[in-house]
Structure 1
Amino acid sequence: MTTIRVLGSAAGGGFPQWNCNCHNCDGVRRGTVRATPRTQSSIALFGDGPDAILVNASPDILQQLRQTPALQPARAPRDSAIAAVLLMDAQIDHVTGLLMLREHRHALPLYATAAVLDDLGAAFPLTRMLSHFCGVQTHALPCDATPFTVPPLAGMRLTAVPLQSKAPPYSPSRNAPRIGDNIGLRIEDCRSGRRAFYAPGLGSVDDRVFAELRDADAVLVDGTFWREDEMQALGFSAKAAADMGHLPLSGPGGMIEILDRLPAARKILIHINNTNPVLVEDSPERAELARHGIELACDGMEIAL
C-alpha cells in the first residue's frame, strides 16, 4: 500500500515565520490564537517496505526527519529510509534541504525535470556543491505524461504533470517560462489502482490539470493564500497571489470553487502561508473549508492509497 506522509505543510518561511508579526504568527507565539505550528512543505511516499521517496527537501528537513521515525529504520550504523529525492520545482524552500543530506552514504538519487536540474547545476549549483560530499545521481523526469518508478519502490507509479508557472527568482529563466519549471505529481498505487494528485504550487488550472484533479481519489494541493490581495492588504508585498504563482482559495475561480467540482474522497490543502486565516482553527475561514469538506494538511498527516 502506498502511504503519503506530510512532513511539512506550511509555505516558505514556515509557521510562525521567523520575522513575521502578523495576527497569525504573533498569536501562535503568544498562545492567543488556536493554531498549530507547521514546517515548510514536503511529503514522503512510502510503499510496503521501509524505503521512501522524499518529495521536496525543505530547509526544515532535519526537524522533519526527527519527527518521522519511519525515515530512520536503523538497518546499519548510518542509515536512512530516503531512497531518492524528487523535486517539484527549484524554489529555495523546496531544495535547500538537500544540503542537509550531504552525509548520505552514497550518491543521492535526485529526480527532477531538465529545467530544475539546469537551475540546480548553474544558477543555484546545489548539485555541484554536493559533488564534494555524497554526490547526486540525477534522473531527468519526463514531461510528456510518461509514468515512471523509483527503485526500490516498484509498487508505486508516478507521473510528472507540467504546470503553468515561473522559475525561481534567482533563475535566468525567471521571465522565460519553460516546461518543467513546476510540476504536479500523479501518485498511483499499482495494487489498488487508487491515486492521488500532489501540487503544492498551483497558479492556474487548465483542462489537463483539472482532469488530474477529477480522476484522483485524493488531492493535496496549493492552499497558500485565502485572498488574491492577501499580501498587499497586509502591506507585506506589492504582489498578488497570481504574481507569486498561486491560486487563492476564495473568490470566483478560486481553489474552493474548483475543489467543489471534484468527486475526490479527500480534498486537502498544503503549502499554507503564515498569513492565511485558515491556520486559525476557530476562524470563519476555517469553518468555510469545513462546510466544503476540505481538510487542511498538518505535519504528520497520512493519506493511504
Structure 2
Amino acid sequence: MKIKVLGSAAGGGLPQWNCNCANCAAVRRGDPGITARTQSSLCISENDRDWVLLNASPDILQQIRATPELQPARALRDSGIVCALVTDAQIDHTAGLLLLRERQTPLPLHATPSVWAELREGFPLGPMLSHYCGLDYREIPMNGRGFRIPGLPHTRFTAVPLSSAAPPYSPNRNRPAPDDNIGLLIENETSGAVVFYAPGLGQIDTPVREAMAGADLLLIDGTFWQEDEMMRVGLSTKSASDMGHLPQSGPTGMIAALGGLPDISGRAAARQRKVLIHINNTNPILRDDSPERRELDRHGIEVAVDGMTFCV
C-alpha cells in the first residue's frame, strides 16, 4: 500500500495568499530554509493505478499537476482518482471536490452522515455538483466496524471519532457531533501494517490514544506549535483549542502525547513513524533550521512535506 502526501499545510497553505507572517514572507523571498506547501490532502493506492483521495483541498489541481499517478493516462479523459473520502466538512478538506466537476461519472464520496448533511446544506457541494458530474454518496459507518472502498480490496478503514471543531459555517460549530470530525485507521491486510490519519485533533481520549499506539505510521495534526500561537503573532484572538487543534508544545501537547503512547505489540517502539501534517503557516516547525524543528528531531517526530511517500 502506498500513501502520498498531496498537501501538508493547514487551510490557506504556505504562503497564505494574504499573509505576511515570517514564514510566508520567507517563502516568497526564496529562503532556502523553508519550503512552500499546499493544503492538506493524501492519496492512497494498492496498485499505483487506482487512487483514493483522502480529503480534497482547494489546491487539488496543483496537486494533480505535481502527481503523475493522478493524471489522465488511460483514455482521452480520465483520472487515477477512483473516489474520495473526507474526514470533515472543513472548506480546506472539501472545496477541491468542486474542481473535479468535469469528471465523466459521479464521483463516489465517502463521508459520515453529519459531514454529508453539511455538504448538502451549509456548504452545498452536493446540490451544486449535481449539475456537473454529481456525487455518489457512500456512508462511513460510525459503529467501530471497518469498511472498504472500491479500488482498495486489501485495505480496511475504520472511523475514529475525534474531539475537534465543526466548520465555522456549521450550526454544530460549538457542539460538534461525534461524526463531525473523524480520524482513520487504515490497515493493509496483506502486510498487516496500520496507519492512523488525523489531520484535525483537539484532544486525545482513550480510543484515539489506542488508535495512535496501535499504528505503524501516524499522520497526525501538526497545526500549531503553541496554544496561543495565532494571538502571539497578532493574527487572531482564538487559541489552538478554540479552533479544534492540539498544539505540539506544552506538558499536555502533541509531543508529550506521542512520547507517552503505550507499547501495543511493539508498535509504539522506535519503528513507529510519527509525522505531523496539516501545519499552519505560522508554525515555526516549518523552518528546517528552527529550534522547534530540532526539538521534534530529538523526539523522533517528522514534519510532512508535499510529495512525501510512504509504503506500508
Q: Secondary structure at the match of 2:176?
A: coil
Distance 1:29 1:73 in 2: 31
Q: Could you say which residue in structure 2 is the equivalent of 1:276?
A: 283
> Structure 1: where are the runs of 5+ without partners?
none
Matches within 5 A, 1:152-231: 152-231=151-230
Q: Could you say which residue in structure 1 is the equivalent of 2:294?
A: 287
Contact 2:229 2:239 in 1 (8 A): yes
Moved more, 26-35 or 8-17: 26-35
Over the aligned positions, Cα root-mean-square deviation in angstroms equals: 1.0
CA offset at residue 176 of structure 1?
2.8
Give a deviation string over 1:100-132, Cα, whole Å, max 9, x none.
000111010000000000000011110000000
Structure 2 residue 107 is the aligned partner of structure 1 residue 122: no
Q: Could you say which residue in structure 2 is the equivalent of 1:134?
A: 133
Matches within 5 A, 1:51-66: 51-66=50-65
Distance 2:72 2:16 in 1: 31
Give a deviation string over 1:116-163, Cα, whole Å, max 9, x none.
000000111100000000011001111111101111211111111111
Distance 2:223 2:65 in 1: 25
Matches within 5 A, 1:98-109: 98-109=97-108
> What percent identity do the matched residue pairs reach?
59
Structure 2 residue 75 is the aligned partner of structure 1 residue 76: yes
Contact 1:33 1:280 in 2 (8 A): no
Q: Secondary structure at the match of 2:227?
A: coil
Contact 1:226 1:277 in 2 (8 A): yes
Q: Secondary structure at the match of 2:154?
A: strand
CA offset at residue 261 of structure 1?
2.5
Moved more, 23-32 or 62-71: 23-32
Q: Which amino acid aligns with 1:301?
A: M
Q: Could you say which residue in structure 2 is the equivalent of 1:299?
A: 306
Q: Could you say which residue in structure 2 is the equivalent of 1:34?
A: 33
- Give the alignment's TM-score, normalised by structure 1: 0.98
Distance 2:31 2:164 in 1: 37
Q: Could you say which residue in structure 2 is the equivalent of 1:12?
A: 11
Distance 1:74 1:271 in 2: 30
Q: Secondary structure at the match of 1:212?
A: helix
